[in-house]
């Protein structure tokens, strides 16, 4: 997937952000699920949290 301009999220990250926005935090992400780059799905969610695009809060 092509990347967006520098300093912004990649398209893959953007889609992941959209997918997780509003999802219950207890959702179990299968450990075998890898993204198209071979990165762990959960790692990428954690990256979104670490970079300040996603947070976990009370419903």
Residues of this chain that bind another protein (CB under 8 A): 1-2, 4-5, 8-9, 11, 14-15, 17-18, 20-26, 45, 48, 52-59
Closest approach, Cβ 14 to another protein, in A, equals 6
Closest approach, Cβ 4 to another protein, in A, equals 7
Output DSSP code: residue 39: -
Residue 13: Cβ-neighbour burial (10 angstroms; 0-12, 13-18, 19+): buried
Q: In the chain, how long is the greatest CA-to-CA distance?
A: 34
Closest approach, Cβ 18 to another protein, in A, equals 5
């Amino acid at each position: 997937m092509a990347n967006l301009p520098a300093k912004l999220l990649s398209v893959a990250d953007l889609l992941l952000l959209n997918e997780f926005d509003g999802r219950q935090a207890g959702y179990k992400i299968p450990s075998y699920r890898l993204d198209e780059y071979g990165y762990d799905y959960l790692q990428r969610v954690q990256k979104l949290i670490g970079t300040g695009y996603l947070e976990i809060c009370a419903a």
